[in-house]
Structure formats: structure tokens, C-alpha cells
Amino acid sequence: MSTQEFIISSLEIVAERNGDITSVVYDLYYQNSPGSRELMAHIDHLVQGRMMEEVLRLLMVEDTSREDQYLTFEMKTHEEAYNVAESMYVSLLEAVWQIVREGVGEDWNEIYENAWQERVTSLLEEIKRHSPSRKK
């Protein structure tokens, strides 16, 4: 199985067992990322849900190079309109990773851990590469 297949498999296990992880991910994220709760305080559950759907989609995509336009757009609005700091992406993706690790529980193993390590690292690299302040 490929890295992406392990990511998808772990997300499927968690979805089957725990249903929607959106609110637990945000709770952990806010706990670990100073300022994030305040930044998202005006956002309702619907928008939070849509954002989480996109985060999970990006974690699952096979070919991130096809996300060039999408990432350019989101990173620009997130940085310039919402004042999102780079470190916040790290905390958000680590929160997803932690919740999935806990959700998979006893079935979690080194292969899942390595797949998540690899995927989170490469997605964060892509996110940083698309950050408007880095492009200047």
C-alpha cells in the first residue's frame, strides 16, 4: 500500500468508529495553538466543517502538484485576510494526526505513523511554498 492508501485507511477506520472528528480536532488544535481559537471565534460550525473537509481532502490527495491553484488561493486569503501564521498549519495538521492516531488505537502501528509523518511533512512543505510572504 502507498502512503496515501495508509492515510485513507486510517481516516476510514476513525470515521467508522468515531464518526465526524471535526470538533475534537478543533478542540485539540485550539489547545495547542495560541491565538487560533480567537481567530476562528466568529466562524460557525458549517464553515469549520467545510475547512476540515478541505484539510482532510488535501491529506488524502494523490498528487499535490494539482493543488497549486487551490493552495495559492487559500494561502493568500488565510495569510492576508485572516492573519493565519505558518505555525498554525503545523498545529492543525498535528492535531488531525493525533486524533487519528488515538482513534485507530490498538491498530495503530509504525506504518501508519510513518505514512502520517511523511504526508504531514510534505503537505506542510507545499503550504509553506505557497505562502505569499515567502514568495516576496
Contact positions toward ligand HEM, by CB under 6 A?
36, 39-40, 43, 47, 50-51, 54-55, 58, 74, 78, 82, 84, 88-89, 92, 127
105 vs 132, beta carbon nearer ligand HEM: 132
17 vs 50, beta carbon nearer ligand HEM: 50
CB of 22 to ligand HEM, least distance (A): 12
31 vs 109, beta carbon nearer ligand HEM: 31
Tally of CB atoms within 10 A around 84: 20
Q: How far apart are CA 52 and CA 36, in angstroms?
A: 14
CB of 106 to ligand HEM, least distance (A): 29
| Nearest-10 crossing angle of helices 68-76, 110-129 | 70
CB of 111 to ligand HEM, least distance (A): 24
21 vs 127, beta carbon nearer ligand HEM: 127
- Cell representation of residue 125: 512543505
CB of 95 to ligand HEM, least distance (A): 10
Contacts of 100-107 with C-beta under 8 Å, sequence gap 24+, read 100/10, 100/11, 100/14, 100/21, 103/13, 103/14, 103/17, 103/18, 103/21, 104/10, 104/13, 104/14, 107/13
